[in-house]
Structure 1
């Protein structure tokens, strides 16, 4: 990889940070300001992928049931709901954002902002009407992430952050973090976590290594694989697919003999330009963070427009 060419390509974006590891070795590290490396910053919806990891760990430990389990096992009220389809929602439907709730994430009556202004976020989500049958359509929904966080706390008997410290943050060496909570004290499942850029890189590396960190298998390889495979196509205008709180996509580029090669990858995505990209075949992890400074408004395209062409150059 031509690092000088990459630095030049990234310069117009005014990124807060960009870290790239290849074959478990840090090969590129950029911070806009010298203090950024040690600062905690919001990762927004990248929190969802951290939550996915914690759910996988809880499942493998038998603290949460299998993904096919009905949500009504935890919330029996769903069996008495006016809409009988709610009784068919499973944990996997929550993980793939396909529970069917009529939800407009950033506006309207059924939305993330209205949830955060309610007295009980879990009740707010469960009371929302369905617009689709469970499993047939993806609708981005931080409310279902909060349901998963609540189930995780109930299943483990620990606050979500405490479980994370024991099973994920501690082993990965996350010395500091901050995590918001809802009015009932449940840590936010869809946002609200603050980490350092290097923490995001380690988390991505854990997934690249199929759940193994140093001598410990933190997440079972089969759960890493299942949780990062496309389960449902993303809703427009987003591209690619969705897995268990991970996005999936592909990139076509020319090989050595001008043959087209499709590169598969998956990634965590947070509002405002926070990303963790995992490229298994390339043994590469890319972290991008941004904070709205400058006039660059196309953070979601930085990876495909400026990073991937250089990573795949021959």
Structure 2
């Protein structure tokens, strides 16, 4: 179990978020308010209002028919960009692996290197993560929404990195400001979602904010982080329902114990 890689599904999205913080810090991308038309110039005018931030907060407004519709197509990016805009960008959250896959495509265009290469150089190797797989689409773009497999101890390292505000062995791998943005829910989209991280409603304990945020993958994969308590909790499971979900277990038996 310890040495086994696990499909972490949508935890991949939270790793994508980290990579964008790094890419912005390194100057590959100006900031998250850059329109996606900088990378996809031939999109419709209404789609030119979509920014990287809209993709990160799942508020692009693009229709999402689901992975089952995208996966059989030969060109995932083309499929996503051809979807109609249903709502004004930035006004409504709609969870979509399409948004995340566009982020991976943008990162590859901006850095001129494969997402996996960029991640390995700037995130995984510094964390001592060597044993992972990140699968790609037919165009060689790392699957931004669900393509990563990792070991439990490496999921823990990623969680500890966020618990320490992006610092690892005295090196600031991810800007602390990016961490804060990522774990702050987006009020415009009216959701408990930041930049590809979920947030819980926080409360005050001893006069300080007691806030938990988490990465979540379909089927019961979780990385819970609470900076105040210096707590990182990993769940790997295979659940088809939420009757006894790790989220409820974490809240009832770990967080509120």
Q: Output one character per residue of 1:171-227: Cα deviation in whole Å (capped at 9) or x when no partner.
A: 111120011110101111110211011111111111111111002111111111122
Equivalent position of 1:142 in the other structure? 97
Q: How does 1:1-314 map to 2 (within 5 A)?
A: 36-78=1-43, 81=44, 84-103=45-64, 110-232=65-187, 241-250=192-201, 263-292=210-239, 297-310=244-257
Matched pairs, number? 257
Task: Tell whether the 8 Å contact from 2:222 to 2:246 is kept in structure 1 after alignment.
Answer: no
1:233/1:277 CA distance change after superposition, 3 Å = farther
CA distance in 2, matches of 1:38, 1:152: 30
Q: Secondary structure at the match of 2:10?
A: helix
RMSD across aligned C-alpha pairs, in angstroms?
Answer: 2.3
Report the CA distance shift for 1:293/1:76 in structure 2 as closer, same or farther (over 3 A).
closer
In structure 2, C-alpha distance between the alignment counterparts of 1:232 and 1:306, rounded to whole Å: 29
Q: CA contact under 8 A between 2:90 and 2:189: conserved in structure 1? A: no
Larger radius of gyration: 1
- Distance change >3 Å, CA 202–CA 86, structure 1 → 2: same
Deviation for aligned residue 1:234: 6.9
The structure whose residues are more often strand, as a share, is 1
CA contact (8 A) 2:166 2:179 kept: yes
In the alignment, structure 1 segments of 5+ residues that lack a partner are 1-35, 104-109
Higher relative contact order (CA 8 A, sep 6+): 1
TM-score, length-scaled by structure 1: 0.76
The runs of 5 or more residues in structure 2 that have no matched partner are none
Using a 3 Å threshold, how does the CA distance of structure 1 residues 124 and 293 change in structure 2: closer, same or farther? closer
The Cα shift of 1:94 comes to: 0.5
- TM-score, normalised to structure 2, is 0.93
